[in-house]
Amino acid sequence: MEIFKMKKITLFLFLCIGVLGFGQVGIGTVNPQQELHVAGSNSTLRVESLNSINNSLNDGVNLSPVFVDSDGNLTLGDQANVGGNKPINFLIDVGDFIADDPYSPIILGTGSVVNSPLGSAMAVDTIATVALVVPQDAIVEVKYGVTLIITGNDLTLGCPCFYHTYDEAITMNTYFKVDLNGNGVIDGTEVTNIYGQKGQYYETNFGGSIGYPYMNGQGYLELPAGTYTLFFYGEVRDNTGSYSSVGFGGAQDYLKIRVYN
């Protein structure tokens, strides 16, 4: 008898939703607060298409995360996963985002060079720009790794390469800023909004290496949906009496950007 009643109610519900439509539905409540309101301290939804029998992404043992697709459908993801993103929505995933030899025909693996010449205690320059489309309001995660090569003469001119001043420590920083208004430059408040800082020092005596240590940086920023340009910078600090030439990204570097959710 109970089953029979449920059949009737189920049929009635189907007719109402499919044919007539109505404002709000309460299950277990006479005061629904949403279009569909399931009340009850132990009540929930069961969707059989998401269970382990019908969905290969549910292994029947571990909890499976639930996602929403662009239509608003509850899903466990694209089972075939052909041509689509996995649930971690990478926006950019490139293995070498800074050209190794931008000063061709010099084949040295300099990357983008920042020179701090005599008389300068600090030099900074753009080492890469990356266009970014953010499809939704989000916290955006930026992870990058950049190689370094350090010499005491201008790397853009090629070798012979000389050591930086022996025993003298210099420091190198990488970070990025974001062109928020799309005018193609970093200006206004964009100048002081700095993300993903990383820094290390270099010092050597005779026989030391000139490259390639890695800088692994991470940065998080909140962005509304839109199109942006990330400006990556390399910064070199040294003594004014020294010439320092640092190549950023001359070996294999990486950049991964995803919606952090």
Burial of 146 (0-12, 13-18, 19+ CB in 10 A): buried
Site for other proteins in 144-183 (CB under 8 A): 165-171, 173
Site string for other proteins, 220-259 (x = CB under 8 A): xxx-xx-----------xxx-xx----------------x
d(CA 4, CA 216) in angstroms, rounded, equals 64
Indicate whether 26 belongs to the interface with other proteins (CB under 8 A): yes
Which residue number, 13 or 107, has a Cβ lying nearer to other proteins? 13
Which residue number, 54 or 183, has a Cβ lying nearer to other proteins? 54
Site for other proteins in 91-110 (CB under 8 A): 91
Indicate whether 115 belongs to the interface with other proteins (CB under 8 A): no
Burial of 6 (0-12, 13-18, 19+ CB in 10 A): exposed
Which residue number, 117 or 224, has a Cβ lying nearer to other proteins? 224
d(CA 59, CA 41) in angstroms, rounded, equals 27
Q: Which of 52, 56, 59, 74 binds other proteins (CB under 8 A)?
A: 74
Indicate whether 213 belongs to the interface with other proteins (CB under 8 A): no
Of 141, 130, 143, 145, residue with least CA distance to 228: 130
Site string for other proteins, 179-198 (x = CB under 8 A): -------------xxxxxxx
Q: Does 212 sit behind a cis peptide bond, omega within 30 degrees of 0 on the bond before it?
A: yes
Indicate whether 77 belongs to the interface with other proteins (CB under 8 A): yes
Indicate whether 32 belongs to the interface with other proteins (CB under 8 A): yes
Q: Which of 22, 60, 160, 182 binds other proteins (CB under 8 A)?
A: 22
Give the DSSP H/E element, type plus range, for residue 7. helix 2-15
Cβ atoms within 10 A of the Cβ of 216, count?
13
Which residue number, 125 or 137, has a Cβ lying nearer to other proteins? 137
Which residue number, 100 or 235, has a Cβ lying nearer to other proteins? 235
- The two tokens of residue 260 are 């952090």
Nearest approach in angstroms of CB 119 to other proteins is 13
241 in the Ramachandran plot: left (φ > 0), alpha (ψ -120 to 50) or beta?
alpha
- Pairing status of strand 211-223 against strand 138-151: antiparallel
The rounded radius of gyration (Å) of the Cα atoms in the chain is: 28
Nearest approach in angstroms of CB 253 to other proteins is 16
Q: Which of 59, 125, 131, 136 binds other proteins (CB under 8 A)?
A: 136
